[in-house]
Each structure stands twice: as C-alpha cells, then as structure tokens.
Amino acid sequence: MIKIKEFANLCQCSTQTLRYYDQVNLLSPAFVDVENGYRYYNKNQLYDYIKIKNLQLADFSITEIKCLLQLSDEEVCLAFDQKIDKLKDKLAKTIKIKETYHIEKSTMTKLFRLIKDKFKEVFKPELIRQEFNLTENELNSYVEEWEELFTNALFHDDNAIDYGGSGITEEQIIQTIENFSTLNYKPDNNFNISDHNIIKEFHGWKYLHEIIDDLCQIGNTDEIIYYLEVKPDKLELSFALPTILLQTVIRQNPKKSLQLECQIQTSTDSSNHIYILGK
C-alpha cells in the first residue's frame, strides 16, 4: 500500500480531492492508521479513481456516481445512453434559444422604442411644458417615469425573454397607449362635487403652474380627488395634465402615503376650475 500523497501523484490529483472523495464515501483509503491518522491506498484503487473522474466528466453527479459504481458494466452503459439523451435535449434547447435570442432582443428593442415615441405623443410635450412651466429635462423625467411604469407592467421581468410567445402585438401596445389620451376624461361621468368634502378650490386660472404649490399642500388626508373642469382647449391634455399633476403632488409629499385620483371634465362657463376633494 502507498500513502495518500503518493496515491495522489499516481492519480494526478490533489490530496484534498482524495480527502473529499473519502468524506462523501466515494473513494475511501484501504487502510487508516489509527495511531497517526495516515491514509493508505492500494494501487489497484487507481482504476476506481479513473472511473469516478470519467463519470464526473460525463456530467454525472456525486450521488449518481455512488450508485453507478455498484452496477455492472452493462448497466453503466445504459446510464450513459440515458445521460446522452438528456444532454441532446439540453443542447437542442440551447440551440433554439440561440436562434431566437437576437430576434427577441431586436423585437424588444423595437417595442421599447415604440413605447417611448408613443408616450411622447400622448404627453403633448410643448403644451405640458407651458401648462406646468417645466424645462425639457423636467418634462423628460416625468415621461421616463411613466414609460418605466408602463413597460414594467407590460413586460414583466420574468416574462420578457418569452416575449415571442406572449401574444402582445405592436397594435395592442399602440391602442393601449392611445387609450391613455382619454383615461381621465369621461364625458358621461355624473361626478357630483356635493358628494365629497371640498378641501380647497381654485377658479379662473390659466395654467396649473400658477397654483401648483397650493395644489401640493394637502395636509394629512390619505384619499384625495383632484377634480378639474377645464376649457375645451385643455382636453387634449386629458391624460398628461392629470398625470403630471398627480406625479408632482407625490414628489412634493414623499413621506406621505397617498391615494390620489384625478377626474377632468369640460367647463360649463369658459373658465378653468379645480377642486381638491376628500373622499
């Protein structure tokens, strides 16, 4: 018999590898001296080591190898055939993913660009900048915030790579975004202010930036409705105007847990009105 270091040299491996094999009951020394702890191996155990390494190279786990070492050569060959079939299936899936990867990436990039472009249309940048007295960078930050929310909802991270089978089309994305243009405007909505507690009200303003600071001072009321009655020329902002308003309120009240809602209707007296209502 030979000591562990000599056997490791014979196997062309480290003594740590042999100690690990012993620890998991895969290949144990033929003899251990109880007095000094020296480990001794038989030279014919080299064949067992070679079998173990070959099985590892064939992608068998330690648990599988322990079982295979107890089987006949015919049974081991059958296990190899089964392993080959599994690896073929895995390879086929990998090839398929490779083939679709660039197509999926290109499609997703195209759709994200489409979302960005459509949101710019819906937000009516020039009109919104005038309404809220925003710089271009400030407006972009609002638009990007909504793009991110919409994109995350539409393409959840877990589903993004499987977009090809999701069934979502460009037409559906366009339709969804275009629906935002009238999201807060419902002409047939019988909204009655008297059903709510009026916290504040503002009348005769031309642009919201004139009163935005007052609109953001909302106290500790959790549930709030901003009800706007505006002149017809502002109705093309029926999505962007309430959206930017609510985003601004949230930004200026970062420590409050708010539930906000916004309704917009056509004014009946050619003046702009806004009511802050408590539910």
CATH number at residue 19: 1.10.1660.10
Residue 230 inside a domain? The answer is: yes
How far is Cα 265 from Cα 244, in angstroms, rounded to an integer? 17
How far is Cα 279 from Cα 276, in angstroms, rounded to an integer? 10
> What is the band of 279 on the pLDDT scale with cuts at 50, 70, 90?
confident
Same domain, 129 and 155: yes
Same domain, 113 and 167: yes
Residue 75 inside a domain? The answer is: no
∠ Cα 229 203 278 (to 5°): 70
Q: Which of 146, 178, 210 is the last residue of a domain?
A: 178
pLDDT tens, residue by residue, 16-74: 999 999 999 999 999 999 889 899 999 899 999 999 999 999 999 999 999 999 999 89
Q: What is the CATH number of the domain that holds 271?
A: 3.30.1330
Residue 188 inside a domain? The answer is: no
Decide if 40 contacts 6 (C-beta within 8 A): no
| One-letter amino acid for residue 260 of the chain | L
Residue 78 inside a domain? The answer is: no
How far is Cα 220 from Cα 49, in angstroms, rounded to an integer? 73
Same domain, 204 and 264: yes
Name the residue range of residue 166's domain.
Answer: 97-178
Close Cβ partners of 48 (under 8 Å, ≥ 6 residues apart): 27, 69
Secondary structure of residue 43 in the 3-state scheme: coil
Instruction: Locate 138 and state its tokens.
Output: 């400030």
pLDDT tens, residue by residue, 141-200: 888 887 777 766 665 544 444 444 444 555 655 665 555 555 555 555 577 888 899 999
Same domain, 170 and 199: no
pLDDT tens, residue by residue, 82-108: 999 999 999 999 888 877 766 666 776
Q: Which of 70, 88, 116 is the last residue of a domain?
A: 70
Q: Which of 70, 89, 106 is the last residue of a domain?
A: 70
Same domain, 101 and 174: yes
Residue 220 inside a domain? The answer is: yes
Residue with the two structure tokens 């940048």? 125
∠ Cα 172 174 177 (to 5°): 105
Same domain, 274 and 214: yes
The number of domains in the chain is 3
Same domain, 207 and 274: yes
